[in-house]
């Protein structure tokens, strides 16, 4: 079974540009979560998508946005990039909320975004 895949692995952008990060969940998982992990820090909750809908977002400005497609893959967009946006962006997926399959997360390996 394929795991959660994220692309690209690394991304270098200039301040003010836009970045697009992509995530493909495990087959059968309908929920996708995005986390930001700055160097040496914990997991900061960014966004949660389930069944194509945004369920909640963390304490991040509106220039962080995303969407979930009908095949449950997801995209994270960061507009007007700032230097402090440099971080590892992690995507995780889980089965549908309340599913008898359980609700553990499977993480991808992340996209390392560097803003220069």
Partner 1 sequence: QQQVKQSPQSLIVQKGGISIINCAYENTAFDYFPWYQQFPGKGPALLIAIRPDVSEKKEGRFTISFNKSAKQFSLHIMDSQPGDSATYFCAASSRGGSQGNLIFGKGTKLSVKP
Residue with smaller CB distance to partner 1, 2 or 18: 2
Residue 25 interacts with partner 1 (CB under 8 A): yes or no? no
Out of 76, 78, 81, 92, which residue is the one contacting partner 1 (CB under 8 A)? 92
Out of 68, 76, 87, 110, which residue is the one contacting partner 1 (CB under 8 A)? 110
Contact pattern for partner 1 over residues 41 through 70, marking x by CB under 8 A: xxx-x--x-x----xx-x------------
Residue with smaller CB distance to partner 1, 15 or 59: 59
Residue 109 interacts with partner 1 (CB under 8 A): yes or no? yes
Q: Return phi, psi of residue 87, to 5°.
A: -175, 175
């Amino acid at each position: 079974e394929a795991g959660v895949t994220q692309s690209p692995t690394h991304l270098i952008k200039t301040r003010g540009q836009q970045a697009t990060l992509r995530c493909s969940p495990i087959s059968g998982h309908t929920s996708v979560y995005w986390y930001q992990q700055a160097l040496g820090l914990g997991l900061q909750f960014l966004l949660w998508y389930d069944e194509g809908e945004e369920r909640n977002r963390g304490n991040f400005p509106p220039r962080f946005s995303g969407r979930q497609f009908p095949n449950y893959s997801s995209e994270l967009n960061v507009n007007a990039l700032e230097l402090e946006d440099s971080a590892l962006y992690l995507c995780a997926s889980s089965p549908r909320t309340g599913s008898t399959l359980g609700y553990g997360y499977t993480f991808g390996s992340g996209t390392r975004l560097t803003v220069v």
